[in-house]
Amino acid sequence: MSIPRRQFLKTAGFGIAAMAAGPAHAWESKAPDDPLGCLVDVTRCIGCRKCELACNQVNKLPEPETPFEDMRVLDAKRRPTAGAYTVVNRYYPGALDERGQLSPTFVKIQCMHCQDPACVSACVTGALSKKENGTVHYDASRCIGCRYCMVACPFEIPAYDFHDPLTPQVRKCTFCLERLEDGKMPGCASICPTEAITFGRRSVLMRLARERIEGDPARYENHVYGEHEAGGTSWLYIAGQPLAKLGFPAVPDEPLPRRSETIQHALFSYLWSPAALFATLALTMKTLSGSKKDKE
Amino acid sequence: MHHPRPIDRPFWSPGVLVMLAVMIAGGAALAVRFVYGLGYATNLSNTNPWGIWIGMDVASGVALAAGGFTTAALAHVFGRHAYEAVTRPALLTAALGYTFVAIAVFVDIGRSWAIWKPIFFHNYNSALFEVAMCVMIYLSVLWIEMIPILAERWGAKIPLLGRLDRGLSGFMWIFIILGVVLSCMHQSSLGTLMVIAPTKVHPLWYTPFLPLLFLLSAFAVGYPMVIVETNLATTSLGLHDEMEVLAPLSRFTIVTLGLYMGLKIWDLLRRGALPLAFDGSLAANSFLVEVGLGVILPWTLLLFPSVRRSRRGLFFAALFVVGGVLLNRVNVFLVSYRPQTQTIPYFPSIGEILVTAGAVATIMFLYRVLTTHAPVLSAPKQEDMAR
Ligand code: SF4
Ligand code: SF4
Ligand code: SF4
């Protein structure tokens, strides 16, 4: 194997230049400044499943097997699915009512619209994106169906059309993006009879959450879930119990994309390491193969 | 050294018929997937979106095809021409292996017809984007590297092939190096895939060093894989055993496997995760098998010159390394993957198993076809040796 000399020097030169250009600045959050969000006050939720109904209608989802008025579905713990972007679950975290009975707590779950979403960082083609207004948006026309977003999401939210053989989609709460763009509230927030879901700017919601907690410390756990979880989320929760007792997965405060993106960028920004490796190997090949007898 | 040449052995053997049967079964399962969907053919779910098609066909397939770039690096880049005898079969295995990795991806992704989209829609933050691009380019590079072999046999009959061969020969060094570079990139990025899911991956495997561990284990498994497949090929085709190449080759594995083992154990100690290996759970036991039988045992065995010189000893040591790396990929992508909301643990469906088995059978079938008709193997036939 012989390497034409001119070609070789050129390639090696590129590699060394790339090495000098060098990589890697520290990871930076790409979170929008003051996105829209929702504050879910778990203590206000009465488990009426109206939000499920509204979500079904505004997103034109298929009719469920059991009607939304049937409260027996609350007997089992459910997760969001391809046909239901939000579900309400009932928990008995230990508090007793005035008659000494365990009193239920109801929690609605849906996509948290993370500030630095793992799903967006993971998505091969950028089919998932974080919009300036806070919504984490899915564009089916870019999706290849690899389901890496589902692997990445720490809240274990995205669901998949596993039964569609050719055009399945990733399904999750859309934050009713179209309604927001029309200046309307999300379907679930607008229907909620007890105002358990408050829609607004995240900074405003944070202030409201703090006010409620401070105004009634006996009613609330002193924690706004989503303030720091996964680096912060657009949807926030306050509750009478730790959210871990209400079926929420344990999630670190570090934004999940930080580590993997740091690795990716340190190694591959400007393709510096592949270029350097190429140059080194070409040099090695030239020296080692060239010196010995060299045929083939 | 003998020059590679086609092996003219009768093609239809009982083994080939078995392969054919498995291929047909796999094909049927494949049809089910494309007619009724992933949900029908697989045990995938919202909590376990990846199964053996990713954990075995793709992740292990890529790792076990590492023989291609590691032998090319040794013989062509580092100028150890004595090892050229094994570069061609290793290259063929890699080319076939990656072809099937690409097919596995095509089958596994929900929107198979959209498989080309990453070429135009980029997300540089995504480790999977990088894997996808590298695999795509590397697959082409591998088949370009195959051209001289194919041209040697069919160049006269197919003029285009001959012309390609002549046109490319001056540039082949670029493709050889490119192959090594691309391999290093995506072998490590496959490990980066799980770095984004710290809450789901068992702490025995979750570490930011995953990419480096994946790269080192790919280096380590390259030559053992060559040893295993050369042994299988020479035995089943009645060829000379090539021990004079394979035995020295295994000495490199002591170093590469040793590095991998060192990093793995250091990382476990550093994170204080080692005690978890002894809690008796399925994950813990799978870990013990992976590291005990797949890393420590073969590494120790290879230290003995008597093992390296014995055909049987070398074969089994190499087989343990291969099994260890395969199990590592399955462990990282499947066994260790425990989402917090999971209710039913994942186990592959019959359909998933059939498709995987069918793919393996097809690779072996094509290996057989190509070694029979194209100049891939160099080992002389046993009866010619005796003469
Ligand atoms: S909750 Fe999951 S799906 Fe929703 S934005 Fe965050 S990472 Fe993405
Ligand atoms: S399944 Fe679609 S949306 Fe999810 S990561 Fe893959 S390409 Fe992106
Ligand atoms: S914001 Fe819209 S899509 Fe999301 S849960 Fe509420 S109604 Fe459903």
Q: What is the pLDDT of residue A8?
A: 47
Q: What is the pLDDT of residues A33-48, one digit of tens each?
A: 999 999 999 999 999 9
Instruction: Using the predicted structure, report yes or no on whether residue B65 has a pLDDT greater than 50.
Output: yes
| Residues A12-17, mean pLDDT to the nearest whole number | 45
The answer to whether the Cα torsion of A220, A224, A229, A233 is positive or negative is positive
Helix, strand, coil fractions of chain B, as percent rounded to 5: 75, 0, 25
Min Cα–Cα distance to chain B from A194, Å = 28
Neighbours of A77 (CB within 10 A): 12
* E strands in chain B: none
Q: What is the pLDDT of residue A291?
A: 47
Q: What is the pLDDT of residues A238-277, one digit of tens each?
A: 999 999 999 999 999 999 999 999 999 988 888 899 999 9
Partners of B125 on chain A (C-beta within 8 Å) are 121-122, 257, 260-261, 264
Instruction: Name the 3-class secondary structure at B124.
Output: coil
Count A/B contacts: CB-CB distance under 8 Å: 210
B338 touches chain A (CB under 8 A): no
Cα separations (Å) of B11 from B8, B90, B157, B229, B362?
A: 8, 21, 22, 18, 15
Residue A92 per-residue DSSP state: -
| Residues B235-257, mean pLDDT to the nearest whole number | 90
Q: B347 phi and psi, to 5 degrees?
A: -140, 135
Instruction: Using the predicted structure, report yes or no on whether residue A20 has a pLDDT greater than 50.
Output: no
| Residues B295-304, mean pLDDT to the nearest whole number | 96
Predicted TM-score (pTM) of this structure: 0.92
Question: Up-side HSE of residue B205: CA atoms within 13 Å toward CB?
Answer: 33
Going by pLDDT thresholds of 50, 70 and 90, the confidence category of residue B387 is: low
* Torsion angle (degrees, nearest 10) of CA A123, A125, A131, A134: -10
Instruction: Using the predicted structure, report yes or no on whether residue A9 has a pLDDT greater than 90.
Output: no
Best A260, A287, A295 residue to mutate vs chain B (most B CBs within 10 Å): A260
Q: What is the pLDDT of residues A74-90, one digit of tens each?
A: 999 999 999 999 999 99
Going by pLDDT thresholds of 50, 70 and 90, the confidence category of residue A278 is: very high
Using the mean position of ligand 2's atoms as its centre, give its distance from the Cα of residue A87 in Å: 23
Using the mean position of ligand 3's atoms as its centre, give its distance from the Cα of residue A74 in Å: 19
Q: What is the pLDDT of residue B386?
A: 65
Q: What is the pLDDT of residue B28?
A: 95
Q: What is the pLDDT of residue B1?
A: 55
Q: What is the pLDDT of residue B327?
A: 97
Indicate the helix (H) or strand (E) that contains A149: helix A148-152
What is the Cα A68 distance to its own chain's centre?
27
Q: A294 phi and psi, to 5 degrees?
A: -140, 95
Are the beta carbons of B109 and A166 separated by less than 8 Å? Answer: no
Cα separations (Å) of A195 from A170, B48, B302?
A: 29, 35, 69
Indicate the helix (H) or strand (E) that contains B373: helix B350-373
Going by pLDDT thresholds of 50, 70 and 90, the confidence category of residue B368 is: confident
Share of chain A above pLDDT 90, in %: 79
Q: What is the pLDDT of residue A241?
A: 92
Instruction: Using the predicted structure, report yes or no on whether residue A208 has a pLDDT greater than 70.
Output: yes
Residue A116 per-residue DSSP state: S
Instruction: Using the predicted structure, report yes or no on whether residue A24 has a pLDDT greater than 70.
Output: no
| Residues B207-234, mean pLDDT to the nearest whole number | 95
Mutate to test the pocket of ligand 2, among A141, A146, A162 (most ligand atoms within 8 A of CB): A146
Rounded to an integer, what distance in angstroms lies between the CA atom of residue A277 and that of residue B329?
25
B124 touches chain A (CB under 8 A): yes
The partner residue sitting opposite A285, judged by closest CB among B81, B130, B173, is: B173
* Torsion angle (degrees, nearest 10) of CA A174, A176, A178, A184: -160
Q: Pairing mode, if any, of strands A36-41 and A136-138?
A: unpaired
Going by pLDDT thresholds of 50, 70 and 90, the confidence category of residue A153 is: very high
| Residues A201-212, mean pLDDT to the nearest whole number | 97
Q: What is the pLDDT of residue A268?
A: 86
| Residues A49-69, mean pLDDT to the nearest whole number | 95
Instruction: Using the predicted structure, report yes or no on whether residue A26 has a pLDDT greater than 50.
Output: yes
Q: What is the pLDDT of residues B119-131, one digit of tens each?
A: 999 999 999 999 9
| Residues B204-229, mean pLDDT to the nearest whole number | 96
Ligand 2 contact, A147 CB (< 6 A): yes
Q: What is the pLDDT of residue A219?
A: 94
Share of chain B above pLDDT 90, in %: 75
Partners of A124 on chain B (C-beta within 8 Å) are 118, 121, 123, 126, 128-129, 132
Q: What is the pLDDT of residues B135-178, one digit of tens each?
A: 999 999 999 999 999 998 888 888 888 899 988 888 899 999 99
B344 touches chain A (CB under 8 A): no
Q: Across all residues in chain A, what is the average pLDDT?
A: 89
Mutate to test the pocket of ligand 1, among A110, A160, A172 (most ligand atoms within 8 A of CB): A172
Min Cα–Cα distance to chain B from A287, Å = 9
Are the beta carbons of A145 and B111 separated by less than 8 Å? Answer: yes
Contact by Cβ (8 Å): A224, A206:
yes
Q: Across all residues in chain B, what is the average pLDDT?
A: 93
Q: What is the pLDDT of residue A13?
A: 47
Going by pLDDT thresholds of 50, 70 and 90, the confidence category of residue B236 is: confident
Q: What is the pLDDT of residue B272?
A: 95
Contact by Cβ (8 Å): B71, B87:
yes
B83-92, B137-146, B373-382: least confident range: B373-382
Q: What is the pLDDT of residue A107?
A: 97
Tokens of B385: 């040796």
Q: What is the pLDDT of residue A63?
A: 94
Burial A26-38, CB ≥16 within 10 A → b, else e: ebeeebbeebbbb
